[in-house]
Amino acid sequence: MSDAPGIPLSAEELAERKMRFLFALRSKGITDARTLGAMERIDRGDFVRGLFSERAYEDMPLPIACGQTISQPSVVGLMTQALQVGPRDTVLEIGTGSGYQAAILACLARRVYTVDRHRRLVREAEALFRALGLPNITAIAGDGSRGLPDQAPFDRIIVTAAAEDPPGPLLSQLKIGGIMIVPVGQSDAVQSLIRVTRTGEGFEYEELRSVRFVPLVEGMASD
């Protein structure tokens, strides 16, 4: 296998990497067939640029522009699986980042809205969604801690940055019967991934596992 920088991989080598990528996801507990299908279709290599592109199929978070990170594939898989997205669902993602998670959700949902506070990340993700032929994603530059009141309520909400508590505006924009996945905790500590289900009476909370995400920061970024 050629791993030297600058030497492109052959089609066979790429296919083998992809197979190992999917196998690793299964071994980490991602068993839902629709989630695995979407992660087979969306190539993480398209969302990682430059120096780190060679590591796109490894199960680790990687740096992207604006000092942010693309999450670890097994965490993307677990969050997607826990969100239980149906084909008629409208999904809100807070934290577009590279666009990888949104692209996976777009394979599973009717429509995906994704919000990031960095305009540059939104612009670059939009260009990728167009190039990959994913017409059902709308990327918006904004402060996601307020949600997206104009398009609310949502069947599913996924937050890919850590908040100290599940943000109130997001809870109120979740439909009854809806599910939200959000990492909760201080940004410099280990956080808990929480699944919130909205019932007719209120909210049910379930802790899924420990994770580490970049913080949810209020307000727009300057770039």
Among 161, 170, 184, 194, binds ligand SAH (CB under 6 A): 161
Does 98 qualify as catalytic in the annotation? no
Phi then psi for residue 62, to 5 deg, are -135, 150
One-letter amino acid identity for 115? V
* Span from 83-91, 180-188, 202-210, 214-222 in contact with ligand SAH (CB under 6 A): 214-222
- Of 80 and 90, nearer to ligand SAH (C-beta) is 80
- Interface with ligand SAH, residue 122, by CB under 6 A: no
Among 34, 54, 69, 187, binds ligand SAH (CB under 6 A): 69
* Cα within 13 Å of Cα(21), Cβ side: 25
- Interface with ligand SAH, residue 13, by CB under 6 A: no
- Interface with ligand SAH, residue 162, by CB under 6 A: no
- Interface with ligand SAH, residue 214, by CB under 6 A: yes
Give the whole-angstrom CA distance, residue 116 versus residue 91. Answer: 15
Contact letters for ligand SAH, residues 134-153 (x by CB under 6 A): ---------xxx--------
- Output the furthest CA–CA distance in the chain (Å, rounded): 58
Measured CA distances, 45 to 41, 98, 127, 205 (Å): 12, 11, 15, 34
Give the whole-angstrom CA distance, residue 165 versus residue 96. Answer: 20
- Interface with ligand SAH, residue 117, by CB under 6 A: yes
Give the whole-angstrom CA distance, residue 10 versus residue 35. Answer: 27
Give the whole-angstrom CA distance, residue 181 versus residue 158. Answer: 5
One of 10, 27, 71, 210 is an active-site residue; which one?
71
Given the rule CB under 6 A, which residues bind ligand SAH? Answer: 68-71, 94-95, 97-98, 100-101, 115-118, 121, 143-145, 160-161, 214, 216-218
Q: Which residues are catalytic?
A: 71
